[in-house]
Chain A
Amino acid sequence: MRLHLDGSTSIDAEKETVFNKLTDVKFIAGTLPDAEDVNIVDPTTLEAKLKVRVAVVTSTLKLRMSIADTEPTSRAKLLAEASGSGSHLTISSTFELTGSRPTTLNWSADAEITGVMAGLGSSILKGFATKKVGEIFAGITKALEAEAA
């Protein structure tokens, strides 16, 4: 099953700061909700265990995420693969920055989901993903604005 999400958010920080942070795997690791056992493999790759809660059911997924195709200070790709509890996810996302203080972050993500999680159906998954992405970007914005202040 394929899912597409996109959106944009405004961050009250310099474009360069936003770019540097979003391409810093240590920073990214800190913004992942419910991540455990985070391991920074190299400057562009991290691994972690991700607890995904859907209603009363919690699944543990092994995540590998990497940063690719960086074009300082405008755009980059975040690629992720996660497996566990009978499900497999492949996510390819791109972000692009425009303006500076405030910096507009435009992002899009394409996910391919197979296994048990796919059975939930795209409408439910999209609803959950939208909610989760909203939480992630709220965390990113808060962290970046705190640093820029």
Chain B
Amino acid sequence: MEVLFQASVDEVTKLIGLEKRELDILEDADAAANELLVSEFEKYVERKYNPEIPEVLKRHNLMGVPIEEKYGGRGARQLVQALFLERMGQSGMGVITFADVHQCLGSMSIQDWGTEEQKQRYLPRAAKGEAVLAYGLTEPEAGSDPASLKTTYRREGDGFSLSGSKYLISNGSVASNMIVFAYPEVGGGGLTAFLLDTKQKGFKVDMRLEEKIGLFTSDTSMLTLEGAFVSKEDILGQEGKGFSVAYSALLNGRIGIGSGCVGVMEDCLNQVKERVTSRVQHGKEIGKHQLIQKHVAFIESSLEACRWLVYRAAIKKDDSEKDPKSLPLRAEADRLSAVAKYMASRCAFESADRAVQCFGGFGYSIMSPVAKHFLDTRVARIYEGTDEIMELKIASSVLGKGYEAYK
């Protein structure tokens, strides 16, 4: 196992305990991350989506890590899912984005909110990698404020037809199925979540968004729905209760992004350590210069602080799942997932910035192993809840409901 990841696994095993089958998942994650190294690097430099990501995850039976074993998954609790994503994060946020969307936003939402029939229909395929999932919440005019979504649905025959635009959708053009959120066209009802088959007539990939400043190996697309049909069996959760589905998915997703950012910091630390102990300037390794040591100290401290913040959020989420009716437990999981995502994404971005600095001029090239982290972690401060939304959530969790400034 990679050394820093092994240290994480050993520490969690010692302090909390991991079962053999959980350790097996993490061994598989380590092998998959190693296998992705070359293709991730090549595709990143070519600025192309990396189709090897789902293939490698499939080969190592890692497409359904959080899916219950009875549906063909690995049955990982949130803490193990976090460790799995930590290791994958060393490969970069492109890998994390794919896995987080497919698993944390996609599979886990179906597992949490789906009927037994929906679970039987989607989860085994998602676990095998026969289905790839996306999450269609964001729109051109609705990001942090899902209340302003413009996508609508209306009854049609035995189901519903959906119309609208979805924007900045990760896995959007490679997904076979996606969770789509829409309001009723008439009647003023609440937001509803649907499970949409992307082969349905009326679903169109408008464009693959390749003009990003990073995250090149992850697919990001704009999608159009022009009367795309979903049957009445494809409502996820209850009609009009889509906000609950959306928010619970984002809670899972935030722990996922935080975990990936921990992996990024690990890779930054590894790369920086190697660079500053081999690069010689002014007659000595640059790591012997005190100002370079300042960067090393920052990355190491950020990593240590964020690792346990993410684990703590994951443990709290596991507690909440054991007692789903407990609102205080759920609120605590929500608060800690926001804190973990907020801190880990900011620390990963600054760690990547400092890693680029340690690499000097070469760090400014996307051929360097750290430039991608610098470019990619920027989006971790935006997607699945911006820094600002996280700050408002965290502040109101301290001050009380009357201070929910984002509502």
Binding site for B on A (CB under 8 A): 1, 54-57, 116, 118-124, 127-128, 131
Contacts and interface: CB of A to CB of B under 8 A. Distances in A.
B38 A118 contact: no
A55 B45 contact: yes
Contacts of B46: 55-56
Given A54-B367, A55-B45, A121 B38 contact: no
B326 interface: no
The 3 A-B pairs of least Cβ separation, nearest first, read: A55-B45, A121-B369, A127-B37
A55 B369 CA distance: 13
A55 B274 contact: no
A121 B42 contact: no
Contact of B38 (A1, A56, A122, A128): A128
30 contacts: A1-B274, A1-B278, A54-B45, A54-B367, A55-B42, A55-B44, A55-B45, A56-B46, A57-B367, A118-B278, A119-B275, A119-B359, A119-B368, A120-B41, A120-B367, A120-B368, A120-B369, A121-B274, A121-B368, A121-B369, A123-B37, A123-B270, A123-B271, A123-B369, A124-B37, A124-B38, A124-B369, A127-B34, A127-B37, A127-B38
With most chain B CB atoms within 10 A of its CB, the pick from A56, A118, A127, A131 is: A127
A1 B273 CA distance: 12
A129 to B, nearest CB: 10
A71 B38 CA distance: 36
A117 B34 CA distance: 20
Interface in B365-407: 365, 367-369
B241 to A, nearest CB: 46
Interface residues of B toward A: which range?
10 to 19
A123 B45 CA distance: 16
B278 A57 contact: no
Contacts of A131: 38
Contacts of B247: none
Interface string B21-61: 00000000000001001100110111000000000000000
Contacts of A122: 274
Interface string B342-369: 0000000000000000010010010111
Given A1-B278, A121-B271, A55 B41 contact: yes
Contacts of A120: 41, 367-369
